[in-house]
Amino acid sequence: MEQIKRTLRDKPAARWTMMVIVSFLMAANYYFYDVLSPLKNLLQENLNLSSTDYGTIVGFYAFPNTFLLMAIIGGIILDKLGIRLTGTMFAVFMLIGAFLTAYGTSDYFRDGGIGYGLLNSFWTSYSPEMKMMTLGMLIFGLGAETSIVVTSKILVKWFKGYEIALAFALNLAIARIGSALAFNISPRLVMEDFWNLPIWFAVMLLLIGFLTFLVYLMYDVKLDRQTAKSISVMDKEDEFHLSDLLRLFKNRSFWFITALCVTFYAAVFPFQKYAADFFFHRFGVSETASADIASILYYGTIVFTPIFGAFVDKKGKSATLMIYGSLMLVIVHLIFSFITVQFSVYILIALLGIAFSLVPAAMWPAVAKIVPESRIGSAYGAMFSLQNLGLFGVPILAGYILDKANAGVTPEMIEQGARLNYTPTMLMFVAFGVIGFVFALLLKWDDKTSGYGLELPSNADPSPVSEEEIKSV
C-alpha cells in the first residue's frame, strides 16, 4: 500500500502557527469593533450625539450582513473563490471602513473636509460626523463578518479531524484579547488635543493584521499544492448550488443552533457596547475604571474558552454546555438589572465571561458536525448574517430605550453628576437571554433524533455529515 503523504496540516507546529497568524487579524478586527464602547461619553460630548445616535453608529456594523445578506453571499463567494481571494478582498473592506469611521471624528473632516458638504446636504437632522462614522462602520462590518467566516473555514481546513474545538476556542481567545485591550487601552490613549487617537490606533492595528494575513496566504498556497490531487477530485462533486443552501435551511438542528447564536450574541455584544457606560452610571466610577470592569468579561473568555474547547474535544457535551452558558447569561443580566453594590459587579462580569466562553466554545465546532465541510462557508455565512440581525437592531433599540428612560437628562447634567437609569435596557438583554436558553434546550432535544452527535467528543465524529443525511432532515 502506498504510504500516505503528510501535509502541512498533519504537522502540529504548522497548523497551530497558522491558527495564531490568522487569529491576529481577528484580534485587530475585534479591537476595532469594541474601540468605540469605552468612548461613548467622549463621542457624545465632542460630536453632540444622543444614545440612539451612538447605537445607530455601532449597530450599522451589522447592516450589510443583515439586510444585504453579505455574510451569506460572502460564505458562498468563499466556497466558490476560496480563502485567499475572499479573505484579501474583505480584509480590504475592513481597512476602508475603519479609516472612514476614524475620519468622521477628525478635525479635518469637521472643518469642511472631503465629503463633509455632501453628507451635510441630506438627512440634515443627523450630523455629517454621525453619517460618516455610520458609513464607515457599515463598510467595516461588510468586511469583518465575512473575514470571520473566512477564519472559520481556515480552522476547519487545518484542524478537521484534529483539535478543532480547541483551535476554535484559542482563536476566539486571541480575538477577545483584542476586545479586552480595546477597553483597557482606549481610555488611556485619549489626549486633550487628540481625543480620537484611540480610533486611529485601532486603524493601525487593522493594517498590521492585514499584513499578517498576507503571510498566511503563502502557507495556504503550499498546503493546496500538497493536496492538489484530492482537491481536483472533489471540485466537481462539491460545486456549490443554490439548492444546497435551501437544504441547509431545511435542517432543523441548523435552525436551532442559528437561533441560539442570534439571541445569545444579541444579549452579549450589544451589552458590551454599553457596558462601560452602564458601570459608569450605575456605580459612579471613573470612565477608565468602568472600561476596565467591562474588559473583565473578555479576559474571562480568554482563560475559559480554550478550557471548554479542550473539554469538547475530549468529552463532548456541546449541547449541554450551550444550555448551561445560556442559563448563566440570563441570571447575570437579571442581577445586573437591579444591582447597586459595586463589589459584586466584579464577580458577575467574570461569570458572564464564563457564560460567553461556554456557548461559543461548544457552538462553532458543533456546526462542523451538522454541515458538510464543502458547505461550511455558506453555513457560517448564514449564521453570521442572521446573527447580525441582533447586532444591528439591538444596539439601536438599547439606545432608544435608554433615551426614553432618561428623557431630559443632557450631557451637561451628566457632567454635573446626573446618572442614567439602565434598568429597562438591562431587562431587554435578559429577554434575549431567555429566548436563547429555550433554543439551547431545543437543540439538545433535536440532537437525540437527528443523530449528529453533538454530545460526543470531536474525534468521535471526524467526518461531516453526508449530503444524504442533510436531505433527510
Question: Closest Cα partner for 398 from 388, 406, 409?
Answer: 406
Dist. CA 33–CA 291, nearest whole Å: 15
| pLDDT value at residue 241 | 54
Is residue 55 in some structural domain? Answer: yes
For residue 233, the tally of other CB atoms under 10 A from its CB is 10
- Report helix angle 318-336 to 252-266, nearest 10: 30
Q: CATH number of the domain at 95, please.
A: 1.20.1250.20
| pLDDT value at residue 199 | 94
Is residue 177 in some structural domain? Answer: yes
Window from 27-31, 248-252, 347-351 with minimum mean pLDDT: 248-252
Question: Closest Cα partner for 270 from 33, 95, 39?
Answer: 33
Is residue 5 in some structural domain? Answer: no
Dist. CA 29–CA 210, nearest whole Å: 10
The number of folded domains in the chain is 1
Is residue 234 in some structural domain? Answer: no
- % of residues, the chain, pLDDT over 90: 25
Is residue 235 in some structural domain? Answer: no
Is residue 4 in some structural domain? Answer: no
Dist. CA 459–CA 461, nearest whole Å: 5
The secondary structure of residue 2, as a DSSP letter, is P
| pLDDT value at residue 471 | 39
Structural domain containing residue 91: 11-225+241-472
| pLDDT value at residue 463 | 45
pTM, entire model: 0.75
Render pLDDT for 315-339 as a digit per residue (tens, 0 to 9).
Answer: 878 888 999 999 999 999 999 888 7
Q: Which residue has the higher pLDDT, 43 or 169?
A: 43
Angle at 234 between CA 229 and CA 240, to 5 degrees: 145
Is residue 151 in some structural domain? Answer: yes
Residue 53 grid cell: 445616535
Residue 76: pLDDT above 90? no
Dist. CA 250–CA 61, nearest whole Å: 28
Mean pLDDT, the chain, rounded, equals 82
Is residue 233 in some structural domain? Answer: no
